Homo-oligomer: A and B are copies of this chain.
Amino acid sequence: MSKNVLVLPGDGIGPEIVAQAVRVLDLVNTQFNLSITHESALVGGSAYDETGSPLPEATLTKAKAADAILLGAVGGPKWDGLDMSVRPEKGLLGLRSNLALFANLRPAILYPQLADASSLKPEIVAGLDILIVRELTGGIYFGQPRGIRTLENGERQGFNTYVYSESEIRRIARSAFEAARQRGKRVCSIDKSNVLEVTVLWKEVMEEVAKEYPDVELTHMLVDNAAMQLVRAPKQFDVMVTGNMFGDILSDAAAMLTGSIGMLPSASLNAEGRGMYEPCHGSAPDIAGQGIANPLATILSVAMMLRYSLDAKEAADAIEAAVSRVLDQGLRTADIASQDCETVTTQAMGDAVLAAL
């Protein structure tokens, strides 16, 4: 049976990096006889420019029907002045929420070939391999009520609601424990339970779910301490699980510890394991159109997609091995450039991965 992938290039460097990733997908599709088909659709700022909406109905319909989604990135200064309701980010948030992609898996891995790229001392980050499991369809990102109102005294007041129910916490807890079982068997849950009631419930439900996973160790850490510990001694972590907002902040900090965020893929999964795959980095409008962006995070997102949603583990392994080989060959895009290595374009990096396959 054929599987269908929806490709959403998005904005900024999105189209350039996705183009290389699709070439890789096409090649493994042939090599491994995967019967994967794909089509493209608009999302983000480019969708707004064309249709007036960052998530056109046609895109959402295709997304719901697809077996998996490959996304580039959305957003850019061009759309900063727009009303929040039609900003590029709403396209991304709308996909997450409409497809119930509640489990966001963000690995922060240091490639040994790129150890120098980190701003941290080598001994602090060598061998780093953390998985951040971020809740993606709830919390303060989606909580109601929200908005800006005018108070009786005439001044304006902005407000958002941070909210989680037991069932939302329970399902992301399970995602974290399941993931930990495949790895180091340790989950650290991040909260601010000394101040925020919503995270008191979070912590309680984590404890409850932990009983179903006696082989996995659960610890808790306050979010401010977690931000410190990521800087001080990141290798202490195996799997970190947290809500939408804390996850946004901590996963970016963790990714940057590697110094090579241009290498990091991510997966956003729903209860059936269907998912959206995208690089951890953003749309980098400052370098868009120059052909110098790093396509490897997107190519590695294809590998994650093959593994988690398309049941093609061998093709995934092959892509990851090819990327590693290309790094061994000393090829680097500008973001991870280093003295003794050759700096190559987006296209040349794609060529090299294809050749290595």
Contacts and interface: CB of A to CB of B under 8 A. Distances in A.
A26 to B, nearest CB: 33
Nearest to A195: B141
A278 interface: no
A79 B124 CA distance: 33
Interface stretch (A6-14, A180-188, A199-207, A343-351): A199-207
Contact of A121 (B119, B151, B230): B119
B194 A148 contact: no
Interface residues of A, number: 61
Nearest to A159: B163
Nearest to A162: B160
A317 to B, nearest CB: 30
Contact of A232 (B163, B165, B196, B256): B256
Interface of A: 75, 84, 87, 89, 93, 119-121, 124, 140-141, 143, 146-148, 151, 155-167, 192, 194-202, 223-225, 227-228, 230-233, 245-246, 248-253, 255-257, 259, 261
Contacts of A252: 224-225, 227-228
B231 A197 contact: no
Contacts of A248: 192, 223-224
A120 to B, nearest CB: 6
Nearest to A155: B166
Given A120-B119, A232-B256, A233-B119, A160 B196 contact: yes
A162 B148 contact: no
A201 B261 CA distance: 30
Contacts of A147: 197
The 7 closest A-B CB pairs, nearest first, are: A158-B198, A158-B201, A228-B256, A227-B253, A224-B252, A157-B165, A231-B256
A196 B245 CA distance: 10
Given A119-B232, A155-B167, A158-B198, 18 more contacts: A89-B195, A93-B195, A146-B196, A151-B165, A157-B163, A157-B166, A158-B164, A158-B196, A158-B202, A159-B162, A160-B198, A162-B162, A227-B249, A228-B256, A232-B256, A232-B259, A246-B249, A249-B249
